[in-house]
Structure 1
Amino acid sequence: LTDSLLPEHDFCNLVEYTTLMALEEVRAKHDEYRRKCREEEEKRLNPSRIGTQFYCEQKVALTEEHGDVETEEKIEGTEQHEKAAEDAVEVSDDELWESLESGARQVVIETRFVSDAAEFYLGGIPDAVVFEDRKPQLIFDRKTTAHPDRLYDNQRIQVWLYGFMLDRLGFDTGELKIAILSHTRDVDLESGKFLQQKVLSDYPEWGVGDHELSEGIVAHIFEYSPIDHLEDL
């Protein structure tokens, strides 16, 4: 990555210092990182920006200079996310962590997580995270693309970073899987919402691999490993 996004550091050593913690310790750590992330903006990194670097450095440079541009594709993506989250119940931080503590299955929609990465702070919002037994079981993300059968490095690395963040916070990621739902732009809002719910509920039956749900709609499922992309960073 360029120095503007991720200066040179030995991120490979990070995995050695990640230890499992009780949930109350995870929350305390998360709250501390969230506070520091707000106070030290110059150390803030975003998984989606990092992922973007892998397919277009010029796009990242232009974004830094001029800000994000509201393209038609981006607007459609926002609408898809809003539709998928319309039935979600907004809860307080206390309610969120209490629900995770219960161990019951929880689908956490578009919730911001913050962790460390060397002396930086990673802050990102996965489309959804499935928790059960106090552990993250699945990180879910949706991508609109002209080639749903392909999984690009920027897509894989962005979602992998969400898992890396949970790992760094001290969650048990031993059973964690990642699901990326790739579909073409002609999928309507209601269908997109249905597909997201289908992946979140049915993925345990499918196993790891590329699953074609319909023409132009593919669910890519793979296991999370904390060392998969450290060398890429």
Structure 2
Amino acid sequence: MRRYDVEVVVFEKNRVGGLLRNAYLVENFPIFPPAPGEKVCEILESRLMESGAIFLKEEVIKVSNRRVITKKGSFLFDYVVVASGTVPKRISDFEVSDKVVYEFSELPEFEKLAIYGAGDAAFDGALKALEGGKEVHLFNRGSRIRALPLLVKRARNFRRFSYHENCPVFGVKAEGDRLKLITEKGEFIFDALLICIGRVPNVSFVEKDDRTFIVGDAKGSFRQASIAMGNAVETAMEILKREGRI
């Protein structure tokens, strides 16, 4: 949009890149060599700042009738593009302390980490922790692993990685400054717990109309950064076409 000299305002409540920062390696951009998610996000942030877009570090609480409402004010636009990603499926009963999180970047200091889930996010988190020399135990409720085989293979190459199959977690208790996981196969003590049991589109704050577009993971498409970016670019071109700019 900036290439067509359109004024653009970007709202972000945390850091540019979102969940992509948690990726062990981003490998689905054919023109780039594999790189950690944090590195890719640094490049994205740099390009955003160079673009001339207005960047506002504010949390959006509602989008309605082309109006973006934040905790600090209300802003009216010609078009709104919502790229708000996803939110985690939660287990409120397990949230016994701040050592229970849903994103790797939110973890406190730890030496021994429990991960609940067996998808890409779970194995990404495991690999990041293992590369840091930590001990990781991954608990899978069933027997099916939903992660990329490449991620699974990499994790299993680490000596300090333990995989617990058909081992649902029944409960979590705070034990001083540590956590006790209660499972069908026994009780385990950890420094922290990362829950990765799935995510859903983060669009509950959006009232859709013909000038509000939802893109990327928030749209409910495949959770792939390359697809999300392509979807966003296509949406930008559609807006420019409507306005007779192309």
TM normalised by structure 2 equals 0.25
The structure with more strand, counted as a fraction of residues: 2
